[in-house]
Structure 1
């Protein structure tokens, strides 16, 4: 079974290559590094960082040096984080990983990008009222798709084994902005409807599939107005698959095709560069339909599906993987992320039992979240759990 640890470039820069890679190989005993290449805004606590305990990550920043020739003239382009200065952490990581015989994966956040969304609102999703969700990029937008393909091509320069594609899909209303406020209870139906994109590109994609897209938008807008105005109405359930005479379901099917075709395009781009594309699905089976995630289709489009195995017991991890199998994703085509920290694990035996379950099911790759966010003792726990 292949293994790796997810990490930030700032972990490498703050600790230095010898300490950072020494912890990966000597303490965790893993065979790979999954390094963030483009990441969203965050504030995190780093238990063993030698320079700071709390760090803010910049919105939508890149942690590699983009090739200027590839990005010339593009509106959407990665901007290096100020935290890396004049250095190229990916080049440093690639050289050191190669020297130590480790695989390097590029953990890449695609459509959850506050910086690009605020800079280019026309590339962000739009709800039924035309309000843009500026923490995101719309995967139906041609410029966004070109940005995603070029990002994969550019990362191929570093000898990356796999692109771990996070946020390669639509997002709901409650995702990714600090101080989000909802003083009235919107209800689950209104929240779901407010998260659907009706930008010109999504409307055009649905219309091309024969969906009455403008009628769907009008119906969604009218339903939202009614639920926002009436507390009792907001609490009423509704079957979205039958909403607007079934036209909303057809509209969401078009969004699913948008995500699936984008994943297929990036998988082909990755393969041309000698890489794999791993589609990261954090929600789990049956929970991503409003995001355009159709697991059977994505299993055929991407080279691999990765999910979060965050759970306290090995049995719960088994159930998570089994649920994917019921949705057309074979265990041998999966990677699973585990957390060795106390929230999920009470010791090496617990983590080892989870890894044993994954091996038994035929899952070929396990990853551990997250190098900088865990104590060094949790890295030791990984090493102990991976021992034969």
Structure 2
């Protein structure tokens, strides 16, 4: 959405130009229009979620226990990928000359099985948290080395994951939450995989936020899209609430269907911490614009200091009418 910087010359992987749908400095034009209308401008940077990168550079992708690659999920343990994500965050979050006031960093952590391609069809078996976690474990070279550092044999671990999932594929009940992961592969093995993955994610988040701050002017706000369950994967990266609020200025939390995920962050929030409740307002995407006012009030009761409405640019006229009505009564 902006002219590529010199930092990418000769580097692989590197970002792609947006193309004809957003030529030139589309971000700059939009930022100036918003600023002229009296609005603060914050950037939104998607990091470890890039299907084109996986298609053109397959070695960068997460590899599951069966040897399948997830091209939409760059492995954040690989040094080259970490360097790419850090450089991209620093460049895209802070656009010089546009008076960008802050940024939101999406998918700044592990991606996994979720968020498939349009024609992937595996929904015949609904996976719970344990199945999602095991299917999201990466077995690329970097992750195999990481498991070995934790005292695990990577080949034995992959076999254990496949054996654990066999009854799940046959429709067996996998249990709930982290205890189900421990039951499927053993508590010690589960803990070792989690230790490797959480350290990898934490250090990436620290490095990325530090790079953004180094490139930004004083007072620049840095938020992460986050989930308080640290072993979760996806656009809302699993984090430790206390740790991430010591690194970033706040978080954007998924609250569609319920705002309970705010509570662990609210318990660790300090003065000035931003806790933004993200509510989907597109009916066709599972949102509930008709209950926006009540949902926003509930989020505020649980500690939210701000709202995010996903995604105003995609709503129908009927959904937009509900949003307008709810916001017209907001205090």
TM range, normalised to the smaller chain? 0.7 to 0.9
2:320 is the counterpart of 1:381:
no
2:46 to 94, 109, 118: 109
2:122 to 152, 170, 182: 182
The CA deviation at 1:333 is 3.4
Segments of 5+ residues of structure 2 without an aligned counterpart are: none
CA distance in 1 between partners of 2:123 and 2:36 (Å): 54
CA distance in 2 between partners of 1:310 and 1:227 (Å): 29
Residue in 2 aligned with 1:270? Answer: 212
2:157 is the counterpart of 1:219:
yes
Name the SS for the 2:73 alignment partner. coil
CA distance in 2 between partners of 1:362 and 1:225 (Å): 42
The CA deviation at 1:365 is 2.3
Residues 230-249 of structure 1 aligned to structure 2 (within 5 Å): 235=173, 239-241=180-182, 243-244=185-186, 246-249=188-191
The CA deviation at 1:180 is 1.4
CA distance in 2 between partners of 1:72 and 1:221 (Å): 41
The CA deviation at 1:123 is 0.9
Residue in 1 aligned with 2:89? Answer: 152
Residue in 2 aligned with 1:251? Answer: 193
Name the SS for the 1:263 alignment partner. helix
Name the SS for the 2:72 alignment partner. coil
Residue in 2 aligned with 1:57? Answer: none
CA distance in 2 between partners of 1:226 and 1:323 (Å): 30
Relative to 1, partners in 2 of residues 1:298 and 1:154: Cα closer, same or farther, differing over 3 Å?
same
Residue in 1 aligned with 2:133? Answer: 192
- Asked whether the equivalents of residues 147 and 154 of structure 2 are also in contact (C-alpha less than 8 Å), the reply is no
The CA deviation at 1:339 is 3.8
Task: Identify which range, 328-337 or 71-80, moves more after superposition.
Answer: 328-337
- Asked whether the equivalents of residues 125 and 171 of structure 2 are also in contact (C-alpha less than 8 Å), the reply is no
The CA deviation at 1:280 is 0.5
1:334 to 267, 275, 281: 275
- Asked whether the equivalents of residues 112 and 137 of structure 1 are also in contact (C-alpha less than 8 Å), the reply is yes
CA distance in 1 between partners of 2:323 and 2:132 (Å): 39
Task: Identify which range, 337-346 or 263-272, moves more after superposition.
Answer: 337-346
CA distance in 2 between partners of 1:320 and 1:154 (Å): 30
The CA deviation at 1:384 is 0.6
The CA deviation at 1:177 is 1.1
CA distance in 1 between partners of 2:37 and 2:168 (Å): 62
CA distance in 2 between partners of 1:369 and 1:112 (Å): 18
Please give the per-residue CA displacement for 1:348-384, whole angstroms capped at 9, x wherever unaligned. xx54454455555553322222122113424533541
Of structures 1 and 2, the one with the larger relative CO (CA 8 A, separation 6+) is 1
Residue in 2 aligned with 1:19? Answer: none
Please give the per-residue CA displacement for 1:101-142, whole angstroms capped at 9, x wherever unaligned. 311122221111000011111111112243321111111111
- Asked whether the equivalents of residues 270 and 276 of structure 1 are also in contact (C-alpha less than 8 Å), the reply is no
Residue in 1 aligned with 2:28? Answer: 91
CA distance in 1 between partners of 2:161 and 2:256 (Å): 36
Please give the per-residue CA displacement for 1:15-60, whole angstroms capped at 9, x wherever unaligned. xxxxxxxxxxxxxxxxxxxxxxxxxxxxxxxxxxxxxxxxxxxxxx
Relative to 1, partners in 2 of residues 1:379 and 1:70: Cα closer, same or farther, differing over 3 Å?
farther
- Asked whether the equivalents of residues 289 and 322 of structure 2 are also in contact (C-alpha less than 8 Å), the reply is no
1:164 to 82, 88, 104: 104
CA distance in 2 between partners of 1:232 and 1:325 (Å): 40
CA distance in 1 between partners of 2:141 and 2:72 (Å): 18
- Asked whether the equivalents of residues 332 and 363 of structure 1 are also in contact (C-alpha less than 8 Å), the reply is no
CA distance in 1 between partners of 2:300 and 2:52 (Å): 40
Residues 114-153 of structure 1 aligned to structure 2 (within 5 Å): 114-153=51-90
CA distance in 2 between partners of 1:354 and 1:232 (Å): 38
Report the TM-score when normalising by structure 2.
0.80
- Asked whether the equivalents of residues 282 and 311 of structure 2 are also in contact (C-alpha less than 8 Å), the reply is no
Relative to 1, partners in 2 of residues 1:174 and 1:162: Cα closer, same or farther, differing over 3 Å?
same
CA distance in 2 between partners of 1:184 and 1:358 (Å): 34
